[in-house]
Amino acid sequence: MTALRAKAAPAPLGATVEDYLAQIALSLRAQSIVAIGWDLRFFVTYLAARQTEWGWDDAPARPLVFAGDVPRRDEALPKFLDDASFAAFMRAARNERRPLLRLVIELLGRTGMRVGELCELEADAVTLIGDAQWLRIPVGKLHTNRYIPLHPQLVDMLAEWSLSPDCGPGGRLLTNQGRPLNRHAVTRMCNRCAGKAGIGHVHPHQLRHTVATQAVNRGMSLEAIAALLGHRSMYMTMTYARIADRTVADEYFAVSERVEALYDKSRLPAEAEGPNMRRLRREHHRMLGNGYCTRPVELDCAFETICETCTYFTTSIEFRPTLRRQLADATRKGQTGRQELYRNLLDGITQEPTHRRKA
The answer to the question of residue 193 being in a domain is: yes
Mean pLDDT for all residues in the chain:
76
What's the whole-number mean pLDDT along residues 54-63?
60
Per-residue confidence (pLDDT) for residue 156, from 0 to 100: 94
The answer to the question of residue 75 being in a domain is: no
Per-residue confidence (pLDDT) for residue 89, from 0 to 100: 96
The answer to the question of residue 267 being in a domain is: yes
What's the whole-number mean pLDDT along residues 291-295?
66
Q: Are residues 87 and 207 in the same domain?
A: yes
Per-residue confidence (pLDDT) for residue 11, from 0 to 100: 46
The answer to the question of residue 275 being in a domain is: yes
Higher pLDDT, 231 or 2: 231
The answer to the question of residue 167 being in a domain is: yes
**Backbone CA torsion sign across 4, 5, 11, 12:** positive
Q: Are residues 346 and 272 in the same domain?
A: no
What's the whole-number mean pLDDT along residues 78-89?
90
Q: Are residues 91 and 237 in the same domain?
A: yes
Q: Are residues 229 and 118 in the same domain?
A: yes
Which of 15, 39, 69 corresponds to the end of one domain? 69
The CATH number linked to 119 is 1.10.443.10
Range of the domain at 35: 2-69
Q: Are residues 47 and 88 in the same domain?
A: no
Could you give the number of structural domains in the chain?
A: 4
Task: Give percent above pLDDT 90 in the chain.
Answer: 32
Per-residue confidence (pLDDT) for residue 105, from 0 to 100: 97
Q: What are the tens digits of pLDDT across the range 11-51?
A: 455 566 667 777 777 777 666 766 776 777 667 666 555 55
Q: Are residues 17 and 121 in the same domain?
A: no
Q: Are residues 87 and 223 in the same domain?
A: yes
The answer to the question of residue 263 being in a domain is: yes
The answer to the question of residue 348 being in a domain is: yes
What's the whole-number mean pLDDT along residues 323-337?
85
3-state SS track over the chain = CHHHHCCCCCHHHHHHHHHHHHHHCCCCCHHHHHHHHHHHHHHHHHHHHCHHHHCCCCCCCCCCCCHHHCCCCCCCCCCCCCHHHHHHHHHHHHCCCCHHHHHHHHHHHHHCCCHHHHHCCECCCEEEECCEEEEEECCCCCCCCEEEECCHHHHHHHHHHCCCCCCCHHHECCEECCEECCHHHHHHHHHHHHHHHCCCCCCHHHHHHHHHHHHHHCCCCHHHHHHHHCCCCHHHHHHHHCCCHHHHHHHHHHHHHHHHHHHCCCCCCHHHCCHHHHHHHHCCCEECCCCEECCCCCCCCCCCCCCCCCCCCEECHHHHHHHHHHHHHHHHHCCHHHHHHHHHHHHCCCCCCEECCCC
Q: Average the pLDDT over each of 131-145, 213-227, 244-258 and give the range with the smallest value.
A: 244-258
Q: Are residues 90 and 225 in the same domain?
A: yes
Q: Are residues 213 and 262 in the same domain?
A: no
Q: Are residues 225 and 263 in the same domain?
A: no
* pTM exceeding the 0.75 threshold for the entire prediction: no
Task: Give percent above pLDDT 70 in the chain.
Answer: 60
Q: Are residues 157 and 101 in the same domain?
A: yes
Q: Are residues 174 and 316 in the same domain?
A: no
The answer to the question of residue 153 being in a domain is: yes
